[in-house]
Structure 1
Amino acid sequence: MWGKEHSKTTKDKISAKHLNKHISKEHRKNISNTSKSKEIHVGKDNPMYGKTGKDCPNWKGGSSKEPYCFEFTDDLKDYIKERDGYTCQNPFCKGNCGILCVHHIDYNKKNCFKENLLTIGNSCNSQANFNRKWWKAVYKEV
């Protein structure tokens, strides 16, 4: 039911089921003690505080960006979108292509040179996954 709300009739049914349901004092105390024993680690009290990169137990040898190059950051993507005027660069786009994303013209995700990147919409990007040779030629002309 995440993000949804029960109807009025459902709420009434749930309420009716719980009317004569009583929790014993012992059970309430158990619930209270359990809640109190769960520590909340915030900031420097958190055992994971300051453990980033190689110090982090989840470190996988720097593979977080794979298969993309490390230069392919949000800053680079924002720069490309700004350079392209926040518009889809697909010449055949009808203007309703959805969320803008940054596309690699040569389909090599390790090639993050600005000349190899352009802004296209999500649906145009999906189309570009078929007949790649043709799309590569089209986007090189843009």
Structure 2
Amino acid sequence: MRRVRGGRSLIVVGSLALLAGASCGPPRHPELRQGTKSYLFTITSEPIPPRAREDVIYTITVKDRETKQPVDNGEGRIFANTRDGARTYDGFVKAPGVGVYSARLNYVASGQWAVGIQFHSDSLKPLEKTEWMQDVLPERSGTP
């Protein structure tokens, strides 16, 4: 009897684990979280990791640091440069969703890039900046 009971327990535990895994949904896209004095940024990009000479689309969600409310109708840009002087930048474009913006960068070389965002909720407020380092992989062979 004990064996049967243990076997049933194992089946129940296994079933619960299977259900728990199934309810999690698809894996989440990696996010980078950055902040400034007034804003919180959640940043995703496609593709991950970025490759040289391919467009990388950044999606940036902006929230007010104090109220945690989305910041819509703001102005911003994303920019990047290397020690060797290569540069790329793009202005934010309103994306679907409240407080969501997108921008596109094209890294001309592989290696480590310093990336930054400047943003303000309206033109009367100062631009605030956050920065991070980004590793860019070599371009794919056969990329035009």
Kindly indicate which of the two structures has a greater share of residues assigned to strand: 2
The structure that has the greater radius of gyration is: 1
Q: Which has the higher helix share?
A: 1
TM-score normalised by the chain length of structure 2: 0.25
Larger RCO (alpha carbons 8 Å, 6+ apart) = 2
* TM-score, structure 1 normalization: 0.25
